[in-house]
Structures are given as C-alpha cells and as structure tokens.
Amino acid sequence: MDIKIEKQDNKTIVVLNGRVDTTNADQFQQDMEPLMEGENPDIEIDCTDMSYTSSQGLRIFLMLQKSVNARKGKMVLRNMNPQVKEVFDITGFSNIITIM
Amino acid sequence: MEYRSFSSRLSWRIIGIVSVIFLISFIVVAIVSHLTITEEAVRSTRYILHGTVNEIEKPLTEVEISTKMVGAYMTPVIDNPEMLQMIASRTVELSDLIVGCAIIFVHPDGSCDTSRKSEFSYMGEGTAQKFVPNSQQLHQIVKRWAEKPVANKDGSWTPPIPAPYNPSVVITTYCYPLVDSALNVYAIVATDLPIGWMQDKVENLRPYENAITTLFFDEEHVLGIKESDSDLVKRFVRALEEDKEYDNMVSDLRENKDSLRRRVGKGGETSIMAYAPLHNGWMISILCPYRDVLRQSSRSHVSLMIVGIIGLFILFFTCRREIRRMTRPVTELAVSAQNMARGNFNAKLPEITSHDEMLRLHDSFLYMQDSLNDYIGQLKTTRNDKARMESELDVARNIQKGMLSTEFPPNLHAMLTPAREVGGDLYAFMQDGDQLSFSIGDVSGKGVPAALTMAVTCTAIRVVSNSKQSFGEPLDKLVSRINHIVTITNSNNMFVTLFTGRINLKTRRMDFCNAGHNSLVILPPAGKPYFLKAKANLTVGLFDDFPYVPESIDLEPGTRIVAYTDGVTEAENADKELYGDDRLLETVSQLAPEMDDKAAVEYIYQSVSDFADGNPQNDDITIMCIRI
C-alpha cells in the first residue's frame, strides 16, 4: 500500500492507497505512530483508494481514534468505498469512528 | 569421469612435450648422421678405389714398357728367328711378371703373314719353353692380338683367357705393333700377364662386409664375381643396362672420368656404387649395400633411442615425485575441503611454508573455515531457538485446543482450523435443558497476540456463562460482562468480534447480540438461505461502557443456523479471488436436510478448501452449524 502524509494548517491529511492487510499492517502502524502524539491532533484520512482493510488495519484506526480522543481532537475518514465501509459497520467501528 | 591427480596429469603433459622434442631431435640427428656417414662412405670408397687402380696399373705399366723394349730389341734382328726366340725366352725368364712372350708377323690389314715364322716362348717348369701352335691356333691368336693394335697403331690389352700353353693359368696379353717406315704394321710383340694377383686384390677389396668389387675388362669379361655374389652383380649389371645409369657410366669411361653414383637396385636394395677407369680401358667398381654403410649409425641410433627412452622414464618418475611433493598441499587441502563438505568444519588444514599461491589458498581456506564455523554457530543457535519456540507453540496450540470444547450436544457441531500454530478464532457453547447458548468470535490479528486475547476471551465467556443462572440473565448483560473482562486486560487495543446467541429449543426463539461479527446464515426448512440481519454493536475489548443491544428472532422447526468467521468468506484462491458471501449462501443452500451438523460443517469446509485449491490459508477458519 501507499501512504501520503501532509501537514496542513493545524491538521494532518493522510491519503491511503491500496490494501491494509497482514503483510503491511506493521508498516502502516509505524507510519501512523507520529500522528498519535503532538499538539495538533486533528486528522483527516482520505480513503478513496483504500480497497480493503483487515482487522489489524481496524486496530490501527482505533488506536488513532483513541489518541485523538485523548488530545480532544477530531478524526474523520472520507470517501470510503462501500466494501470497506461494510467492515466498519459490521464491527461496530462506525459507532466510534466518524466516517463521512 | 575417472579421477586423475593433478601431479600425474602434469607429469604426463611434461613427458608428452619432452617426448615430442626428443623425437624431433632424434630425427634431425638421424638425418644429419646419415648424410655425414654416407658422405664419409663415398669419400673412403673413392680413396680405396684409387689406391687399387694405382696398384693394378703399376705392373700393367711395367709390362707395357717391357713389351715396348722387347719390340725395340727385336726390330734389328727381325729377320733372325733364332735371335727373336732367344729374346722372347730371355724376357720370360728375366721378368717377374711376364709368363709368356711372342712375336707374330702380320700383313698391314692384320691377317697372318705365314711367309715369316712367328716365335712363342713361355715359362714352364722353371725355364723358358718354346711353344709351337698349330695352324688353327695360330690363326686364332693372330685374330685376338692383331685387331686393335693394327687399327690403333698402338699397344692394347686383350681380355683374359686361359693360356693356350697352360690352360690352368688365366692370362691377359699386351700386344704391341711394330711398324715399318711406311707406318704399316708388320709384326705384333705380345707379352702374357697372369691375372691371379688381380683376382686376389679384387676379392680382398671389401671396404664393407657385403661390398662387391668387380674388374671389368670389357662387356663380356668381368673379374671379381664370386658364385655367391653373381646374382647380385648380375642383377645390378642388368639394372644398369636397363636405365640411363649404364649409359652414363659408359660415357664416363669413354671420357676417362671416374665417378661414383648411388642408386636403388632392383629388389629394394639400395647401394652405393663407385667406379674408376684404368688407363687401358678397364674399369674397377665397388658396390656397397647401403645397409652396410649405415650399420654403424643404425647401431648408434638404437643406443641413442634406448638412452632416450630410459631418460624419459627417469624424467617421468622424477618429475612426478617433484610435482607431487610441490602439489601435496593442494592434495591435502582437497582432503580438508572434502572433510569440511562432510560437515567437519574444524578439519585440520595442511601447514604451508612457502610464500606463494599455496599460502594464499591456505589462508582463504582458513578464512572460509572461520566464517563457516561462525555461521554454523549462529545457525545452531537460531535452530535451537526455533525448535524451542516450535515446541512452545505446540504446547500453546494444545492449550488452545483444550479451551475449545469438542463434546458437542446433538444439535450443534463446530470446527476450527487455525492458519498458523495458534490462532485468534474461538467458539463456545452450553446447553441446559431446552436452552442452548453459543458464541463464535475472531480476535483482530493473528498468531501469538491473537491467541492470548483469544484465551482471555474464552475464559471470560466461560466465567460469565458458567452457571445455570446465566441462562436467566439478559444476553446484553452477559456480553457487557465479557466485554468488561476483555477490555480491562487489553492494553494493546486488540479487539474481538463476537456473536453470541441463545436459543430456546422449545419455542425456537433465538436471542442474539452481535459484537461486530459476520452475520449468521439462516437456512429455513423450505426456502433459500439468507444472512441474519443484526445490529452492529462494537467489537468486544475496546470500550468498557459500550451499550450492547440484544435482538430476537423466531425460527421455524428444522431451520439450520451457520455461524462462521471471516476465514471462510475471505479464503483466497490462486487468482486472488475471495470465497465471498454469495458462494457461502450457494454452499449452504446445497446442504441436504438429512445431513447432520457434523456433515454440514465438513461439507462447507470442503467447499472452502476446494475453492482455495492448495492456496495457503491465511486466516483461521471456524464453522459452526446448529439445527433446531
């Protein structure tokens, strides 16, 4: 998968491209870890080109969400395709993560 | 391929090259020595020939002079037969060489002049005897003697014949003409010379063992041919006559030249022939077979060859020993390398004292040995670690298996196949009378972290529902309690999707609560299978206070319920296609009514397995079937 991270004003924009699965979940976690600390907690994730996420991927989104909540910020996932959205729905993650 | 040692191959190579050089040298030496020996033979043969010519010519010349003197003495007393007879007798008596002396009278045309009396004298019984030929003998003698002197007006020698007065002695006669004032020949003075001494000389003249010396008087009279040699000389003479060689010889003789030629005789015998003319037209020839000439050099060539071959043998063994000594380190290194290849990485390396490529090779080997030892050491540690981990995982797997009950009630069956040694899928069930409760779940991630969380979850389920009273509690309460236990032990944000159901087998009402798990498939006794619609509650293990919402559904008798984890729907084949929801519905629709739960579980698993077609399973697969 391909990850682009961009700092914009006081929020971070992440663009995900491809699959999040067993083979690259660790890498995804490492890339996201810097976003789980610091003064500007707001994160916007563009999921237009994310084709799949495994439970490990869900766990990382959850970790992000928890760190954002702890710093009283906001995290938004945008343009998620229906198959991926379904995973978030089934697992109930849609209840705790904002998907627009 | 046959093994041949380096030293042996090198030795053979050197011997090969040396042999070729030796052979070429030998051939050159042989050719040069043949040429030299042939030249030497020619020179010595010519020398011997000239010596012999001189020896033979000396008495001939003496006889010629004597004869001329006899002629001079006779001329004043030519009309006195008694004086003539006396002079002839005295000549015979006084000369060591001359055995017969005569004067015959001829007409200028060479015919016998019978008007005057010829006189003949010869040596017999120590004194001079008178010889009187009869008329026929006289005519024959005149014919033999007069022809050439009359024609040439000069002395000439006749071919050898047995003497008329003593046939046991073979003689040649010198005939000298006496001429009158008008230069007409009127008489011939003749002296006889026996040829026995010439024969001895010729026979003893043998520069080589099989050489043949021959004295030619003319084309018909030849001296020196022994009975045993006659074939050879005849063959030789015939060969000469057949080609130009003879013509050359004759013309040489005519011009009084001596010559020496080499030729191949008929029958393959190569010979050297030397010949020289005498002043009176005779010729001496020596025929030397070439093999005789070369015998000496052939002998020395054989010696040279033997010495050479012995030398080559010595060279071979010396070379081989030296090369073997010098390449011994390579041989020993090869043995060490073989030992190393067999796994003995501490194989002893040979000691190298020389400072050359051998030392470098040795050092490289030493370095390789050290590296290999290090590497093997690391490998052993890694292997031991791996073995320990594997055995630990094996134990963990057994522990995990033990957490999953396998004593199924009559209307429920489940199967769990982990993708690795340990997995994150789980199931649980409990029956109390008409009440049947069950759970199926999937921990996020895989491997050991997932397995640990799975253990916590299983324990939590067991703790929460391990009493008959639990069947009386609302389902959402139970799930909340499970969530609470998992959440407080979860510092690593692991979560569990968990579907929990409770069926009253009498009323066929099912209460259920889905915490983020895949929907169940419901197969009514008549009709198509469908996914159970359930509210998506959050997965277990994340938020302690999440409000789980329970739901209920009434089922027809004979309904089948299929619960599963995403290892089923996300099974992949080699083309990266997923098994998917539709295929699952299709498979469930194929379940025959008479199949029990175990057969149904196995049927679905087989379908997934067939679909993957050997493609590695990358997630745990759990299937549970219930029929009411």
- Partner residue facing A93 (CB), from B494, B538, B618: B538
Q: How far is CA B44 from CA B50, B130, B265, B286, B546, in A?
A: 10, 47, 21, 11, 137
* Percentage above 90 pLDDT, chain B: 37
Quick check: B536 and A95 CB within 8 A? yes
What would the DSSP string read from start to end of A79-99? S--HHHHHHHHHTTGGGTSEE
When comparing pLDDT for A20 and B4, which is higher?
A: A20
Cα nearest neighbour of B539 on chain A: A91
Rg of chain B, C-alpha, whole Å? 69
The model carries a pTM of 0.54
Q: What is the pLDDT of residue B510?
A: 95
CATH class of B404-627: alpha beta
Quick check: B539 and A94 CB within 8 A? no
Percent helix / strand / coil, chain A, rounded to 5: 40, 35, 25
Task: Specify which of B136-150, B364-378, B557-571 reaches the highest per-range mean pLDDT.
Answer: B557-571
CA distance B519 to chain A (A): 8
Q: What is the pLDDT of residues B279-319, one digit of tens each?
A: 887 888 887 777 888 887 788 888 888 998 999 899 888 98
- Partner residue facing A59 (CB), from B445, B537, B618: B445
Report the Cα B264 to chain-centroid distance in Å.
43
- Residues B266/B196, Cβ–Cβ less than 8 Å: no
H/E run at residue B585 = helix B580-589
Please provide the average confidence, as pLDDT, over all residues in chain A: 89
- Partner residue facing A62 (CB), from B442, B445, B493: B493
Quick check: A66 and B493 CB within 8 A? yes
- Partner residue facing A92 (CB), from B493, B519, B539: B539
For the record, the structure tokens of B314 come out as: 């010595």
Q: What is the pLDDT of residues B412-459, one digit of tens each?
A: 999 999 888 888 899 999 998 899 999 999 998 888 889 999 999 999
Taking an 8 Å Cβ-Cβ cutoff, which residues of chain B contact chain A?
A: 442-446, 493-495, 497, 515-519, 536-539, 542-543, 546, 618
Worst-scoring range by mean pLDDT, B164-168, B233-237, B460-464, B612-616?
A: B233-237
Q: What is the pLDDT of residue B484?
A: 93
Residue spans per domain, chain A:
2-99
Taking an 8 Å Cβ-Cβ cutoff, which residues of chain A contact chain B?
A: 22, 25, 55-56, 58-59, 62-63, 66, 89-96
CA distance B378 to chain A (A): 27
Q: Which residues in chain A have Cβ-Cβ distances shorter than 8 Å to B543?
A: 96
Confidence check: pLDDT of B86 > 70: yes
Secondary structure string (H, E, C) spanning B364-392: HHHHHHHHHHHHHHHHHHHHHHHHHHHHH
Quick check: A94 and B536 CB within 8 A? yes
Which residues have C-beta within 8 Å of that of residue B567, sequence separation ≥ 6?
A: B417, B419, B425, B442, B617, B619, B620, B621, B622
Burial (CB < 10 A; 0-12, 13-18, 19+), residue B393, is middle
Task: Specify which of B261-275, B330-344, B519-533 reaches the highest per-range mean pLDDT.
Answer: B519-533
Q: What is the CATH number of domain A2-99?
A: 3.30.750.24
Region of B493 on the Ramachandran plot (φ > 0 left; ψ -120 to 50 alpha; else beta): left
- Partner residue facing B536 (CB), from A63, A66, A89: A89
Q: Which residues in chain B have Cβ-Cβ distances shorter than 8 Å to A52?
A: none
Residue spans per domain, chain B:
78-194, 339-387, 404-627
- The CA distance from B336 to B280, in Å, is 94
Burial (CB < 10 A; 0-12, 13-18, 19+), residue B481, is middle
- Residues A71/B513, Cβ–Cβ less than 8 Å: no
Q: Classify domain B78-194 at the CATH topology level.
A: Beta-Lactamase (3.30.450)
Q: How far is CA B321 from CA B10, B16, B204, B316, in A?
A: 11, 17, 58, 8
- Residues A90/B516, Cβ–Cβ less than 8 Å: yes
- Residues B429/B552, Cβ–Cβ less than 8 Å: no
CA distance B594 to chain A (A): 33
Assign B344 a pLDDT band (cuts: 50, 70, 90).
Answer: confident
Q: What is the DSSP letter of B165?
A: S
Assign B606 a pLDDT band (cuts: 50, 70, 90).
Answer: very high
- Residues B192/B163, Cβ–Cβ less than 8 Å: yes
